[in-house]
Amino acid sequence: MEILAIETSCDETGIALLRATGGLRAPRFEVLENLVASQIKIHRPFGGVVPNLAKREHLKNLPILFRRLLARREAERKPFKPDIIAVTVGPGLEPALWTGIEFAKGLAKRYAVPLVGANHLEGHLYSFLLPSRAAGAYTSSLAALRKRVFPAVALIVSGGHTVLLRMESFAKWKRLGETRDDAAGEAFDKAARLLDLPYPGGPEIEALARRGNPAAIAFPRPMLDQQNYDFSFSGLKTALLYYLRSAEEARPADVAASFEQAAVDVLAAKARRAAESCAAESILLSGGVAANKHLRKAIGRTAALIGANFFVPDFKYNLDNAAMIGAAGYLARLRKKKYPLRANGALDI
């Protein structure tokens, strides 16, 4: 079936068109179009996402992206006849979510097709199934399904969430742990601010860290030794703040590299413990922070060490996008999971 998908939970407006086949056991996706309009430049002066600005930009961008999608289909002489429309209903910023929901409702009416609510976190969770052009180091959906996936341990690390799940199948999972305070991405963003780096901080810290020594500063590894699967990142941020206040001469690259190492160590250690205790066949890594090469490598190494497969989405599907929402919509429909078609900022996974 063809799925038109819409994502407006935060500061990226996304519209995608996918072809989905294979059902719940062996879902496969072909991404026909994946358009994203980023608002980073608009929010940057404020050091974070401003909900009402995000809403205004989504309202402006949605019709532009949709017209572009139609034009591209037309140029390729491909018909535009989606079977369903999927839209993110949460979690995220409610004013932003509503813009996508209202727009999707309009389209569902115009094309007389069902509208399916999608969970943004499930979008990240399933994003490893989206095909990657660069086969090889990582995965494509076909390659993924030839390897054993379940039971799997999934680590979702984004700007708003840090969650560890144990998955039995594409339809069944249990939450093992989560962050007790800041999300991993939030910690990167706050650390960047302390280092006078622009928003979003993750990519900035990663770039600066490349020139630094990750062992230069012994930042704490919060909750590393606790026998649970929870995380805490606000202590790490505070340690960084105190370090910057007290250090006579702080080399920003060393600070960034040491901070990144501390965050990566904790994430990798807990993912490993979870995977071992679940006898996981694979570890899945997703969310914006999964764009971090250091983290990808560390989790990949962890998986290899314990003989598990490692699945991570192609770089273009780590950050918010609508293609992953199409995947989430397809699988939610197969799971008969019906999310109400209204914004739910605190929707859980």
Residues that bind Zn ion (CB under 5 A): 158, 320
The answer to whether 313 contacts ligand KG4 (rule: CB under 6 A) is no
Among residues 7, 182, 254, 320, which is the contact residue for ligand KG4, using CB under 6 A? Answer: 320
Among residues 182, 206, 254, 314, which is the contact residue for ligand KG4, using CB under 6 A? Answer: 206
Q: Tell me the C-alpha distance between 105 and 156, whole Å.
A: 29
* 315 contacts 155 by C-beta, under 8 angstroms: no
| Interface with ligand KG4 in residues 217-256 (CB under 6 A) | none
Residue 278 DSSP code: T
To Zn ion, the closest distance from the beta carbon of 158 in angstroms equals: 4
Task: Select from ligand KG4, Zn ion, none the partner in contact with residue 201, using the beta carbon and a kind-dependent cut-off of 5 to 8 Å.
Answer: ligand KG4
> Following DSSP, what letter does each residue of 196-249 receive, concatenated?
TPPSSHHHHHHHHHTTS-TTSS----TTTTSSSS-B--HHHHHHHHHHHHH-SS
Task: Select from Zn ion, ligand KG4, none the partner in contact with residue 185, using the beta carbon and a kind-dependent cut-off of 5 to 8 Å.
Answer: ligand KG4
To ligand KG4, the closest distance from the beta carbon of 130 in angstroms equals: 14
Q: Which is nearer to ligand KG4, 39 or 292 (CB)?
A: 292
Task: Select from ligand KG4, Zn ion, none the partner in contact with residue 11, using the beta carbon and a kind-dependent cut-off of 5 to 8 Å.
Answer: none
Question: Which residue type sits at 346?
Answer: A
- φ, ψ of residue 158 to 5 degrees: the values are -135, -170
The answer to whether 126 contacts ligand KG4 (rule: CB under 6 A) is no
Among residues 3, 4, 5, 10, which is the contact residue for ligand KG4, using CB under 6 A? Answer: 10
Q: Tell me the C-alpha distance between 85 and 140, whole Å.
A: 24
Among residues 291, 322, 323, 331, which is the contact residue for ligand KG4, using CB under 6 A? Answer: 291
- End-to-end Cα, the chain, rounded Å: 25
To ligand KG4, the closest distance from the beta carbon of 4 in angstroms equals: 21
To ligand KG4, the closest distance from the beta carbon of 217 in angstroms equals: 18
Question: Which residue type sits at 317?
Answer: Y
Q: Tell me the C-alpha distance between 32 and 84, whole Å.
A: 15
The answer to whether 123 contacts ligand KG4 (rule: CB under 6 A) is no
Least Cα distance to 9 among 344, 301, 310, 348 occurs for 344
To Zn ion, the closest distance from the beta carbon of 90 in angstroms equals: 11
The answer to whether 104 contacts ligand KG4 (rule: CB under 6 A) is no
Find all residues with CB under 8 Å of 245, minimum gap 6, and list them: none
To ligand KG4, the closest distance from the beta carbon of 91 in angstroms equals: 8
Among residues 151, 201, 326, 329, which is the contact residue for ligand KG4, using CB under 6 A? Answer: 201
Side-chain-side CA neighbours of 52 within 13 Å: the count stands at: 0
Q: From residue 161 to residue 200, what is the string marking binding to ligand KG4 with x (rule CB under 6 A)?
A: ------------------------xx-xx----------x
Least Cα distance to 264 among 163, 165, 157, 150 occurs for 157
Q: For residue 148, what are its two tokens?
A: 């054993």
Q: From the CB of residue 205, how many other CB atoms can be counted at a distance below 10 Å?
A: 27
Total residues contacting ligand KG4 by CB under 6 A comes to: 20
Q: Which is nearer to ligand KG4, 158 or 282 (CB)?
A: 158
Q: Which residues bind ligand KG4 (CB under 6 A)?
A: 10, 158-160, 185-186, 188-189, 200-203, 206, 287-289, 291-292, 319-320
